[in-house]
Amino acid sequence: MNDPTFWVEARASGMVAYLLVTVSVLAGLLLKSKPFGNSPKPASVTDMHRFLALLALTATAVHGVTLVFDRSITITVSDLFVPGGVPYRPLATGIGVVAAELMLVVYISFSQRKRIGVKNWRRLHWATYGLFGAFVAHGVFSGSDTTHAWARLMYASTVALVAGATFWRAFVPPKRPERRRPLEPAPAE
């Protein structure tokens, strides 16, 4: 009898990775669109965005490693790096491999921003829309839970949230903080 522990862990870590990618993308959009003015502080949102991306990478790595240990399907370590190597739904799993590799490149770019230039860094960050779409496609087309209503609702909700935040960023100008007027001296009596 097969122990389902790794299969359950692979499913759970895949869902967690997907949700962390979603929240990281939303934090990045929040950082740029500033729907609340300058609150919270941009530096704290940037740090949170980077930390969420790191957590998403970690959960993605756990997802891949647990799939290697799971015995319900044979996946090798090299399959985690070569798109299309997994025999189970090779296109959908290959999309997941490419998305994970792209996510790693985007994450590394945080520390290389000065070296590659802000303009190139921003161009690379535009790839996160494709990355998010690839993670959606990977989850929907290779996930074993996609047939469940809760999973379909999760995918639809997260896509709607990212689409809504993207729309907000594209069409609603960022709020500027209100300038405080200096206090006027009290009139002399």
Whether 10 is in a domain gets the answer: yes
Whether 159 is in a domain gets the answer: yes
> What pLDDT is attached to residue 38?
57
pTM more than 0.75: yes
Span 104-141, pLDDT tens digits: 999 999 888 889 998 988 888 888 899 999 999 999 99
Using the predicted structure, report yes or no on whether residue 176 has a pLDDT greater than 80: no
Residue 128 neighbours by CB distance under 10 Å? 19
Whether 180 is in a domain gets the answer: no
Residue 38 neighbours by CB distance under 10 Å? 11
Span 13-27, pLDDT tens digits: 999 999 999 999 998
Whether 181 is in a domain gets the answer: no
What percent of the chain lies above the pLDDT cut of 90? 50
**Number of domains the chain contains:** 1
> For residue 38, what are the domain limits?
5-168
Using the predicted structure, report yes or no on whether residue 178 has a pLDDT greater than 80: no
Reduced 3-state DSSP string for the chain: CCCCHHHHHHHHHHHHHHHHHHHHHHHHHHHHHCCCCCCCCHHHHHHHHHHHHHHHHHHHHHHHHHHHHCCCCCCCCHHHCCCCCCCCCHHHHHHHHHHHHHHHHHHHHHHCHHHHCHHHHHHHHHHHHHHHHHHHHHHHHHCCCCCCHHHHHHHHHHHHHHHHHHHHHHHCCCCCCCCCCCCCCCCCC
Whether 182 is in a domain gets the answer: no
Q: Using CA atoms, how far apart are residues 89 and 136, in angstroms rounded to an integer?
A: 15
> What pLDDT is attached to residue 64?
93
Q: CA 156, 159, 161 angle in degrees (round to 5)?
A: 105
Using the predicted structure, report yes or no on whether residue 1 has a pLDDT greater than 60: no
Whether 188 is in a domain gets the answer: no
Label residue 154 by pLDDT band (50, 70, 90): very high
Whether 173 is in a domain gets the answer: no
> What pLDDT is attached to residue 179?
60
Q: What are the tokens at 81?
A: 């790096």
Span 37-67, pLDDT tens digits: 555 566 677 788 889 999 999 999 999 999 9
Label residue 28 by pLDDT band (50, 70, 90): confident
The residue whose two tokens read 């979603």 is 22
